[in-house]
């Protein structure tokens, strides 16, 4: 008959391994995947204007192939739709186009180039470009797969509607929680 070892003291509350921070010293030694977002210090976290444009240029060059072509074409259409759009680099490597707030992001994955509209759920989409993230209350996205062609005129109109929505809803917000001075 086997005996279980006897514990000398009951385990103190709050000492489980789940409550302890993970050891961050064990980093992956595998090379980054194609199109992976490279870190470049603080610049990789957030940039605007020329710095962001340069980082987006680098991303497009590093992607190569159909994803680079698609992201480059999307970028061209966005600037054509709104010459005042601002390019940003946020969230450790995501191209973002803004005008009075975020208009859309341009994420790249192995199978798709995803264009996520921050206020997509509130936008009219008569041509049915939105084909992803349809269940949410705020965002909508367009997934473009290899070989698919984006309807440029409809996309340009969608960018313009998104900018108009940002400008319309950009009224100054109240400060605090209903208190007045």
Torsion of CA 118, 120, 123, 128, to 10 degrees: 150
**Is residue 39 scored above 70 in pLDDT?**
no
The predicted model gives 50-68 an average pLDDT of 92
Count Cα atoms within 13 angstroms, Cβ side, for 46. 0
Ordered by where they begin, the domains of the chain are 42-168 (3.90.1150)
Helix, coil or strand: residue 160: helix
Identify the bridge partners of residue 117 per DSSP, sorted by sequence position: 104, 140
- The 10s digit of each residue's pLDDT in 132-168 is 999 989 999 999 999 999 999 999 999 999 999 999 9
Structure tokens belonging to residue 73: 């074409």
Provide mean pLDDT across the span 48-53: 84
Q: Is 172 helix (H, G, I), strand (E, B) or coil?
A: coil
Count Cβ atoms within 10 A of the Cβ of residue 179 and give its class: 0-12 exposed, 13-18 middle, 19 or more buried.
exposed
> In DSSP terms, which residues pair with 127 in a beta bridge?
none
pLDDT at 80 over 50: yes
- Average pLDDT, rounded, for the chain: 79
Closest CA to 91 of 33, 36, 44: 44
Task: Give the whole-angstrom CA distance, residue 117 versus residue 142.
Answer: 8
Please give the structure tokens belonging to residue 7.
Answer: 């514990």
């Amino acid at each position: 008959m086997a005996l279980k070892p006897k514990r000398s003291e009951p385990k103190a509350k709050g000492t489980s391994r789940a409550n302890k921070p993970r050891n961050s010293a064990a980093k992956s030694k595998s090379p980054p995947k194609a199109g992976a977002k490279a870190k470049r210090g603080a610049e990789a976290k957030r940039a605007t204007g020329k710095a962001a444009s340069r980082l987006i240029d680098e991303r497009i060059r590093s992607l190569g192939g159909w994803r680079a072509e698609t992201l480059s074409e999307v970028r061209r259409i966005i600037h054509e739709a709104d010459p005042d759009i601002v390019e940003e680099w946020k969230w450790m490597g995501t191209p973002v186009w803004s005008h009075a707030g975020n208009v859309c992001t341009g994420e790249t994955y192995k199978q798709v180039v995803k264009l996520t509209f921050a206020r997509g759920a509130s936008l009219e989409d008569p041509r049915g470009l939105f084909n992803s993230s349809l269940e949410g209350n705020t965002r909508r996205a367009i997934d473009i797969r290899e070989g698919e062609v984006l309807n440029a005129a409809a996309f340009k109109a969608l960018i313009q509607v998104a900018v108009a929505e940002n400008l319309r809803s950009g009224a100054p917000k109240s400060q605090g929680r209903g208190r007045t001075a």
